[in-house]
Amino acid sequence: MLKENRQQKIFTLLQNKEEILVKELCNIFQVSDMTIRRDLADLESAGVIRRTFGGAVMNGAIPETADFPGAYVKQSEKGADVKSKIALKAIELIKPGYTIFIDSGTTTSPIARNLPDSSKITVVTSNLRVINEISKKTEVSAIVIGGFLRNETLSCYGPQTEEQIRQYKVDIAFLGASSVGEDGNFYDGYPPEAGVKKSIMQSASETYVLVDSSKFGKYELISYSSIREVTGIITDSGINPDHLTALRQMDANVIVVDV
């Protein structure tokens, strides 16, 4: 079943239930709990559900009679626009001749898509979607990092990936995160990806984490870094003011993009 179809069915199920558990959804769709958790994360980012401990409930801001496709697509388009604006702010940090690393993720990959065709830079990445975008840029060079392929994200991971990354030195790394906790740590839901991110940071002179405002104050499976170990965070103006204040009190360099 396609991811979009599965997510639509999850939404439909939630319209008729007060709460649904990850375990139930795994049994219904015969997929792993990690796949379901990522589906729920996507739906939460779109604003149509709210994740709970071990499951999900409807987002109270969305009427139960809402038409799923229309509501979801509208929210998804809005999210894509926000992520593009975050990516454009990141691109402002790139200078001619730079070597940069673009991490896998829905907030980082728009960097590749929005890079001007005339950018005379080198992009290092372990993500095939990023490579696909870079292949359309005539003046941009690319270095592809290999390893075990994660089909869900089309990104490579594993010891070989991490070792290859450490062989390079990049000027700026742009990383994604599944969430940013109130403890000031960046989290990822897939441990092998966390290892890749740590290797990237070791190879970069500067590291920026790109996250949209829906990711703050939440936690995932594993922490891969803290705000004290990165150059800055780029997010959008939808960030909760309390989260922004708390991060800046931790001396975080938070760049906020108006949306």
- 53 and 83: one domain? no
Q: How far apart are CA 232 and CA 208, in angstroms?
A: 5
- 162 and 85: one domain? yes
CATH of the domain at 23: 1.10.10.10
The pLDDT value given to residue 192: 87
- 16 and 95: one domain? no
Q: Are 139 and 120 in contact (CB under 8 A)?
A: yes
Element (DSSP H or E) covering residue 45: helix 33-45
Structural domains counted in the chain: 2
- 44 and 138: one domain? no
Q: How do residues 138-192 score in pLDDT, each as one tens digit?
A: 999 999 999 999 877 789 999 999 999 999 999 999 999 989 999 999 998 888 8
**Inside any domain, residue 71:** no
The pLDDT value given to residue 73: 42
Q: How far apart are CA 89 and CA 86, in angstroms?
A: 5
The pLDDT value given to residue 66: 43
Burial of 133: CB neighbours in 10 Å, binned 0-12, 13-18, 19+: buried
**Inside any domain, residue 73:** no
- Tokens 């604006």 found at: 85
Q: What's the token pair of residue 115? A: 């890079």
The pLDDT value given to residue 60: 53
Q: Are 198 and 238 in contact (CB under 8 A)?
A: no
Q: How far apart are CA 257 and CA 233, in angstroms?
A: 11
The pLDDT value given to residue 50: 81
- 140 and 195: one domain? yes
CATH of the domain at 163: 3.40.50.1360
The pLDDT value given to residue 74: 46
The pLDDT value given to residue 8: 82
**Inside any domain, residue 64:** no
- 110: Cβ–Cβ under 8 A, 6 or more apart, which residues? 80, 83, 84, 86, 87
**Inside any domain, residue 182:** yes
**Inside any domain, residue 149:** yes
pTM for the full predicted model: 0.72
**Inside any domain, residue 111:** yes
**Inside any domain, residue 69:** no
Q: How far apart are CA 228 and CA 251, in angstroms?
A: 8
Residue-by-residue DSSP string for 76-120:
HHHHHHHHHHHHHHHHTT--TT-EEEE-SSTTTHHHHHHS-TT--
The pLDDT value given to residue 239: 96
Query: Looking at 129-178, which runs of residues are DSSP E strands?
Result: 141-144, 148-150, 155-157, 170-175
- 154 and 116: one domain? yes
- 16 and 89: one domain? no
- 26 and 143: one domain? no
Residues facing 127 on adjacent strands: 155
Amino acid at 221: L
- 252 and 131: one domain? yes
For 134, the domain range is: 78-257
- 117 and 33: one domain? no
Among candidate residues 148, 85, 138, the one with its CA nearest the CA of residue 116 = 138
- 90 and 201: one domain? yes
The pLDDT value given to residue 228: 94
Is residue 107 helix, strand or coil?
A: coil
- 173: Cβ–Cβ under 8 A, 6 or more apart, which residues? 100, 101, 103, 200, 201, 203, 204, 206, 207, 208
- pLDDT beneath 70, residues of the chain: 16, 18, 59-79
The pLDDT value given to residue 75: 43
Burial of 256: CB neighbours in 10 Å, binned 0-12, 13-18, 19+: middle
The pLDDT value given to residue 18: 66
- 243 and 119: one domain? yes
**Inside any domain, residue 243:** yes
